[in-house]
Amino acid sequence: MPTEPTESRLSLDTRAARNLATTTKTRPQMQAISSRWLLRMLPWVDVRGGTYRVNRRLTHRPGRGRVGVVRSGADDVRIVPATLTEIPALRGFDDDEVLTAVAGEFAARELRPGDVVAEEGDPVTGAWVIAHGRVERLATGRYGATQFLGVIADGDQFGDDVLTDDDARWPCTFRAATPCTVLFAPRDGLRRVADRSPALREHLAGYLDTLSRPVNRRGEAAVRLAAGHTGEPVIDGTFVDYDLHPREYELGVAQTILRVHTRVADLFNDPMSQMEQQLRLTIHELRERQESELLNNPEFGLLHNTDYDQRIYTWSGPPTPDDLDDLISMRRKTRLLLAHPKAIAAFFRECNKRGLVVGSTEVNGHEVPAWRGIPIFPCGKIPISAHRTTSILALRTGEEDEGVVGLFQTGIPEEYEPGLNVRFMGINPQAVMSYLVSAYFSAAVLVPDAIGILEDVDVATPRT
């Protein structure tokens, strides 16, 4: 920009005047700071020993997981043998050779939307695994109407009853909702593998014995009780059995080494401490990473540690009020919903289409959107896939309610904030000071239904 000649001005130029003025300045700003609602809303448990053990009642009925599938080409779709242990009847079976033989019985098939995979009431002729696509579950109601029971998708399996029940029949109809790639293993092929493997036959016999044991509706070992009796009948004795191998959570860590030159710390501390500002921004980054790890860490992250029985799919793609109602109804005392901002926007669009007004509630002085009185908190750390799909989490929190809790340890050496310390590491020959900044944390799900996930949520903006 050309400079105006000095002789043409009648007063001092503002650019020159700034050289003698004291500016009013802000402390360093940072765009990456988010609301971090998950860190704020989780109840935090002080783990004195560095490990948190979650004791539960003994469970006889194993849960159903998802089978891994690899696609090497358009026509080469195969099951990852080790993941077949996600099928309840094979849970805990560790013979890799036999699992590979079982996986070899599955062959790929392509389905078009509307194709019926299995009809309600027909005999089960084999096991199915969905490699890609969505399959609807339908049943006939009491008065002949068709009832929609839900949707299953990638990695889900059905029909594995053929491993243990000769007379199994389909409890509902399975129909392709989208183009699907599925893998099918006929009953005869699976039985041949079992006949050749004494270890597998023994394992399946043990599984059948487990199924015969009395359990409550959650699959936990039953407690014998008497109710509604009169007179003086003999009342059974009982006890509550515990899981002999409870899960233990060790505290994870996020760390960095903050370096500050002594010259900067000595000479440029007025009016703001350089060390203080460097540390403040570093801690913000650590807390952001901490929240991301609480969601995405493979060991303890909530997205990876949610029971598969607590995962449901959207009915049509975008998150509708019906989908959130289904998610909330799966547990008692849902305290909060956590969703990516784009998923919240997609939910608002669906409400607008129906003429519904999303409510709000006050949380810690902030007005946040709410559905059925349950606050919906934004969290940009929930990933969005390449196909523009994401997940919405529903959580019950706190030890008293057998919910989800955050884990940390207070009173650690040179603690700066709860669960976070700053330790001086010395000054190197280049006169640079180093500080080790560490945050220790984890999260635990006390019982499986404390958290649920609405998966495959489509957040793409529809064309008008």
In this predicted structure, the answer to whether residue 1 has a pLDDT above a threshold of 60 is no
pLDDT band at 343 (very low <50, low <70, confident <90, very high): very high
pLDDT at 112: 92
pLDDT at 221: 80
pLDDT at 384: 94
pLDDT at 18: 67
Given phi > 0 = left and psi -120 to 50 = alpha, else beta, which region is 112? beta
- Give the mean pLDDT of 322-344: 94
pLDDT tens for residues 15-36? 766 677 667 778 888 888 899 9
Closest C-alpha to 456, from 73, 66, 32, 83: 66
pLDDT at 15: 75
pLDDT at 447: 92
CB 407 within 8 A of CB 442: yes
- Give the mean pLDDT of 322-346: 95
pLDDT band at 89 (very low <50, low <70, confident <90, very high): confident
Higher pLDDT, 40 or 22: 40
> CB count, 10 Å around CB of 449?
19
- Give the mean pLDDT of 358-367: 91
Least confident among 217-231, 256-270, 413-427:
217-231
pLDDT at 42: 95
- Give the mean pLDDT of 35-53: 93
pLDDT band at 8 (very low <50, low <70, confident <90, very high): low
Least confident among 123-137, 166-180, 210-224, 252-266:
210-224
CA dist., res. 12 & res. 8, Å (int): 11
In this predicted structure, the answer to whether residue 6 has a pLDDT above a threshold of 60 is no
pLDDT at 254: 95
pLDDT at 464: 58
Structure tokens at 186: 């006929």
- Give the mean pLDDT of 397-420: 94
Structure tokens at 246: 């409870």
> What DSSP state is assigned to residue 135?
E
In this predicted structure, the answer to whether residue 11 has a pLDDT above a threshold of 70 is no
In this predicted structure, the answer to whether residue 219 has a pLDDT above a threshold of 80 is no
pLDDT at 240: 82
Average pLDDT, the chain: 88
pLDDT band at 224 (very low <50, low <70, confident <90, very high): confident
pLDDT at 57: 84
β-strand 404-408 against 44-46: which pairing, if any?
parallel
pLDDT at 14: 64
Least confident among 43-47, 67-71, 341-345, 356-360:
67-71
pLDDT at 2: 56
Query: Could you please report the per-residue DSSP string of 268-310?
Result: S-SSS-HHHHHHHHHHHHHHHHHHHHHHH-TTT-TTTSS-GGG
pLDDT tens for residues 131-166? 988 899 999 888 888 898 888 888 898 988 888 888
pLDDT band at 13 (very low <50, low <70, confident <90, very high): low
CA dist., res. 66 & res. 183, Å (int): 13
- The percentage of residues in the chain with a pLDDT greater than 70, rounded to a whole number, is 94
CA dist., res. 295 & res. 384, Å (int): 13
In this predicted structure, the answer to whether residue 74 has a pLDDT above a threshold of 60 is no
CA dist., res. 79 & res. 90, Å (int): 14
3-state secondary structure of 139: strand
- The percentage of residues in the chain with a pLDDT greater than 90, rounded to a whole number, is 53
pLDDT tens for residues 241-298? 888 889 999 999 999 999 988 888 888 877 888 888 899 999 999 999 999 999 999 9
